[in-house]
Chains A and B, each alone.
Chain A
Amino acid sequence: MSQHKYIIGTLSVPAMTDVLWEVREFVSNCAAKSGFDEQQTNYIVLAVDEICANIARHAKEKNASKEIIVSVSVEESQFVVTIEDNALPFNPLDVPSPNMVDYFRTFRNGGLGIHIVRTVMDNILYTPSASHSGYNALTLRKRLPVA
């Protein structure tokens, strides 16, 4: 069975928090173009921002010369955002989602961003960098809205 893949666009930015607004704008345009309403578009932008902010924070601690590549495509009936980076491998899916009541009571740091990503997206797949590429990849999928 053939897999239909339509590439909407790719954006590459340095792994720094002060340029992530560019990613947000790019993903917002891609999601809106793919038929998501304003609310869902904003949610998708937020999910991607959470992932990129994580990468930028990790990259900053280790090395400032890292990059993030965001590719957006439509595959079958899925909106697919792939976020690649050449920082140290870090699987955000290893972070457990907080119970919000406990989160408020104990105020432990972390977990909120990935909780948002899990809430917004239908499927998340993390592939740590293989030695041949040096890039980690996180793929976020969300079913396209019914036209």
Chain B
Amino acid sequence: MKITSTMMEDILLLAIEGRVDTNTATEAEEAIIGTIDNGAARIAIDFSGLDYVSSAGLRVFLLAAKKLKKTGGQMSLFGMKPIIKEVFDMSGFSALFTIVNTRDEALTALK
């Protein structure tokens, strides 16, 4: 699991790659929640490099969304492979997030 961050004007772009499972969820949580604790308010997460997500990973994204809600921030997710989108759909998580196809759509959703 690898997370890279880039600032695009005032939007934080996080690209998450590999697997977010029980083994890597803590690391992902520290990285993502850390950006919110450091003041990131508008976050777009690039899922195109993510190959696997389990409930431990879903929890991390939920935690991030909750944190942002408290701070008045926003988050959008984009570029999900079908295998990941299906897990979001099946678990009921899709309804909780702004999920779009492209980076442009994700950035627009945060404006």
Contacts and interface: CB of A to CB of B under 8 A. Distances in A.
Given A21-B19, A46-B87, A100-B95, 11 more contacts: A21-B21, A39-B82, A42-B87, A43-B90, A50-B54, A53-B54, A100-B92, A103-B62, A112-B55, A115-B55, A119-B90
B11 interface: no
Contact of A116 (B23, B62, B90, B96): B90
Interface string A93-126: 0000000100110010100110110011000000
A137 interface: no
Nearest to A41: B83
Provide the main secondary structure of the chain B interface: helix
B22 A56 contact: yes
A50 B55 contact: yes
7 nearest A-B pairs in the assembled complex, by CB-CB distance: A53-B22, A100-B92, A113-B55, A112-B55, A17-B23, A17-B22, A18-B23
B66 interface: yes
Interface in B60-98: 62-63, 65-66, 82-83, 86-87, 90-93, 95-96
A118 B83 CA distance: 19
B58 interface: yes
Chain A interface main SS type: helix
B contact residues, range: 20 to 34
B54 A49 contact: yes
Given A104-B96, A112-B59, A20 B21 contact: yes
A54 B92 CA distance: 21
